[in-house]
Structure 1
Amino acid sequence: MSVPSEPSSALFAGPFALATLSALATPDGPSFPALVTPDGLVLDLRSALGDEQLTVRGLLEQWQSALPRLRDLAVDGSAERKLAHFRVHAPVEPRQVFQSGANYRQHVIDLHLAHTAPGDERPEEERRAEAAEIMDRRAAEDLPYVFIGLPSAITGPYDDVVLPAWAEQPDWELELAAVIGRAAYQVSAGEALEYVAGYTIANDLTDRASVFRRDMPRIGTDWLRGKNAPGFTPLGPWIVPAASVADPGALRLTLKLNGETMQDESTKDMLFSVARLVAYASQSAQLLPGDLLLTGSPAGNGMHWGRLLRAGDVMEGSIAGLGAQRTRCVPERVRATGAVGSPVGPIAVK
C-alpha cells in the first residue's frame, strides 16, 4: 500500500529516512532502496549511488561511508517523486531479529496480574507488589531478557495481518526497534549506540495462548509459536538515522485499535535502555548490519484491556519522530480439509 497521510506536515524527524519501496504502477516490479524526505519525496538509491543491486541492508553494511553521501543527497534536491506513487515495504530484510521481553515495568506488572496462576487468590495489590519487586530486582541486577525471532514474521507497515486460525489470543505489542549498522560482538553499553544505524517501528504480535507450554510448564515459553506466524511483525515504514533521534530513551509510543488509544507510553518506562540491550545481546551473539533489536512493549496490550485482536480490527501504531504504520487484521482461510491457506481475499488498507 502507499503511505497514508499523517496529521503532521513532516513524516519523521531529521533530513531523511531509508525505505524499501516498489512502484504502484507495476505491482510485480522489483523493490528498491529509497531515500525519503520528511515532506514525502523519494529518491531511488540504486541510480543515485550507481548500484543496481543495492538494498537497504547493503547500505547498512557500509553505513559509516554511506551516511555522509546520504546526507548530501537529502539536501541537493534529487528527491523529486512523490511517496504516494509507491508501495511501502518493510524497510529492511534482517538476517537476525533479537527481541527483548519484559522490558517495560508497568507492562510486565499488568501481564503478571493477567496470568495469575490457578489457585492464587491473593489480593491484586499483593500480586502487583510482587511483580514490581521482581522488576526492580531485575533492573538492579542488570538482567535483560532477550530471545530470537524469525525474519519470516516481518511484513510491511501497511500490509494486512493474517490472524492464524489456531491463534486463540492474538495481541498487539508496539515496540521501538533499533537497526544495527555495524557488526557488534561483546561490546560495552558505553559504546553500544555506536553500532546502531537508526530506529524504526515494530508491532510484535503475540498469541498469548501459545506463549506458555501447558504440556511442559517447567520448560517455559514457546516464542516460536507465540510470535512467529507469517506477518506477525509489521515493520516500518522507514528507518530514521540514529543522529535524527535525540534520545531513544524518551520517545512516545502510541497504538490505536479502531481509533481508540490502547498504548500511550514513553520509552522512559523501559527497564533497560537500547544501549544496554545491544550490549547484552552482543555478549552471546554477533549482531550484523541490518539486524533488528526490538526493545519490548509498554503497558496497554490486549490482555490488559481484556480485548484481543479479531478480523476487521485496524491497528495504528506511531512513535514520535519515526512515523506511523497502519495494518488491518484479516482471517486465515480454512479449507474444507482443515488445512489453512491465504486470507479470504485481499482487503486494502485505506
Structure 2
Amino acid sequence: MSVKPEAASALFAGPFALATLSAPEGHAFPALVTPDAQVLDLRPALGDAGLTMRGLLDAWDAVAPRLAALAGDTVPGRRPLAEFRVHAPVEPRQVFQSGANYRQHVIDLHVAHRAPGDERPEAERREEAAQIMDRRAAEDLPYVFIGLPSAVTGPYDDVVLPAWAEKPDWELELAAVIGRPAHRVSVEEALEHVAGYTIANDLTDRATVFRRDMPQIGTDWLRSKNAPGFTPLGPWIVPTASIAAPDDLRLTLRLNGETMQDESTKDMIFDVARMVSYASQTARLLPGDLVLTGSPAGNGMHWGRLLRDGDVMDASITGLGAQRTRCVAEVAR
C-alpha cells in the first residue's frame, strides 16, 4: 500500500530518508524521500539503472555525500510519495536479533516469575532484579541470535498469522542498518559502521519459543520468529547523521488504537554500539544487514492479550516515522 497522506507532515527526522518503492505494476527501486513527501528515483540520479538499496549501502561511504547533495538540490523528476507502494527499505543478507535487552522489561519478567516459596514483598524482589540488571550491564554480554531475511515484509503489508501460531505477539524494536562491513570492531568504532536506523516489529509465537518435545534443547527461534512476514520493516532508513541520540528514542506500539508499548531506548541494557560490536566479534556484518536491539516492556504476554485476526498495529519510533500492519489469520485468507 502507499504511505498515508496524513502522515506526510512528520515522516522522519532530517533532510532525507531512503526507501524502497514501486509504482503500480512496476519494479521496486531505491528512492530518496524528502520531508515534504517527494520522491527521487536514485537509479537515474546516481547513474545506475540496476541499483538496489543493498547495492547503494554497499557503496555507502562514497554515496552518502551525494545523497545529502541531492536532497538539497532542486533536481527534476521528483514525484509525490503517495503515488508509490512502500516496501521494506532493504533486503538484508543477515538479521541479528537481540533478546532481554530492556531493563524494565526484564525486571518485570523477573518479578512475575518468582520461584516457588518466595514470599518476599514485590518491592524487595524488584530491587533484587534491578541489581541483577545493573550487574549484567556492567559485566555480561548481549544475547544475540539469528533471524531469517525471508521473514521481512513491508511496513504497511498485512501480517499473516499462521494457523499453527497459538500465541502470536508483537515486539517493537529499533533496528540499526549496517553501511560498512564490520568484523571484530570495538564499541568505540561500532557506530561508524551503521548507515542509519529503521523500525522493526519482531513478531514471536510465544507458544513455540521453547521446544515441548525436547525442553533440554532450549529456545526454537526458527519456529517462533521466522514465519513469512513476521518482521515488518521500515518505512525508511534514516541516516545516522539525522539521529543525534539513538540511545534516547521513544518507541510506541498501539494495538487497535490502545497503547501497549511506550518506552525510550535509554532503558536498553546494551546500547546500539555494544550490540553492533558484540555481533561483529563472531560474524562479519555486511552492508544492508540488520541489528535488532530488543523490545521494551508491554508485549502481549504482559497484557494477557495476543494478536488475532483483524488486529491493527501502529508502531513508531522518534525520528523514524511509523508503520501500520493489519493481522490476517491464515484460515481467513
- TM-score normalised by the chain length of structure 1: 0.91
Deviation at 1:5, TM superposition (A): 3.2
Q: How does 1:270-285 map to 2 (within 5 A)?
A: 270-285=268-283
Amino acid at match of 1:241: P
Shift of 1:308: 0.6
Give the Cα–Cα distance (whole angstroms) in 2 for the partners of residues 63 and 131 of structure 1: 42
**61, 65, 69: which one aligns with 1:64:** 61
- The partner residue of 1:46 within 43, 46, 49 is 43
Opposite residue 200 of structure 1, the aligned amino acid is T
Q: 2:249 aligns with which of 248, 251, 262?
A: 251
Q: Which residue of 1 aligns with 2:28?
A: 31
Instruction: Give 1:187's aligned residue.
Output: 185
Whole-angstrom distance in 1 between the partners of 2:180 and 2:73: 27
- Structure 1 residue 213 displacement after superposition: 1.8
Asked if the contact 1:11/1:323 (under 8 Å) is kept, the reply is: yes
Residue 233 of structure 2 corresponds to residue 235 of structure 1 = yes
* One-letter amino acid of the structure 2 residue matched with residue 70 of structure 1: L
Aligned residues: 331
Aligned to 1:16: 16
Pairing partner for 1:169 from 144, 148, 167: 167
Deviations 1:318-345 (A, max 9, x none): 0010000000000102xxxxxxxxx61x
- The letter for the 2-side match of 1:72 is A
* CA RMSD after TM alignment: 1.7
Report if the CA contact (8 A) 1:113-1:124 is conserved. no
State the one-letter code of the partner of 2:37.
G
C-alpha distance 34-270 of structure 1, shift in aligned 2 (>3 A): same
Report what 2:105 is aligned to. 107
- State the match for 1:329 in structure 2: 327
Moved more, 104-113 or 206-215: 104-113
1:74 maps to which residue? 71
The counterpart of 2:216, out of the listed 215, 218, 232, is: 218
The CA deviation string for residues 207-256 of structure 1, in whole angstroms up to 9 with x for no partner, is 11111123333322111111111100000001000000000000011000
Matches of 1:45 and 1:114, distance apart in 2: 50
Q: Distance in 1 between matches of 2:149 and 2:45?
A: 28
1:209 alignment partner, SS class:
helix
Structure 1 Cα separation of the partners of residues 30 and 273 of structure 2: 27
Q: Structure 2 CA distance, aligned partners of 1:274 and 1:179?
A: 11
What is the CA deviation profile of residues 292-316 of structure 1, one whole-angstrom value per residue up to 9, with x for unaligned ones? Answer: 0000011111111111110100000
Q: Any unmatched runs of 5+ in structure 1?
A: 334-342, 345-350
Q: Secondary structure at the match of 1:265?
A: strand
- Given that 1:114 and 1:304 are in contact with CA atoms closer than 8 Å, whether structure 2 keeps it comes out as no
Deviation at 1:127, TM superposition (A): 5.1
* Post-superposition offset of 1:115: 5.3
Give 1:126-165 correspondences, 5 Å limit: 128-165=126-163
What does 1:295-306 correspond to in 2, within 5 Å?
Answer: 295-306=293-304
Q: 1 CA distance for matches of 2:218 and 2:129?
A: 18
**1:31 and 1:218, CA in 2 relative to 1: closer, same or farther beyond 3 A?**
same
Question: What is the identity percentage for the equivalent residue pairs of Structure 1 and Structure 2?
Answer: 79
Q: How far, CA to CA, are the matches of 2:309 and 2:109 in structure 1?
A: 24
**Partner residue of 2:86?**
88
**Larger % of helix: which?**
2
Q: Is the 8 A contact 1:111 1:303 kept in 2?
A: no
Structure 1, 104-113 or 237-246: larger mean CA deviation: 104-113
String of CA shifts for 1:52-110, please: whole Å, max 9, x gaps: 11001101000000001111111112262000000000000000000111100111223
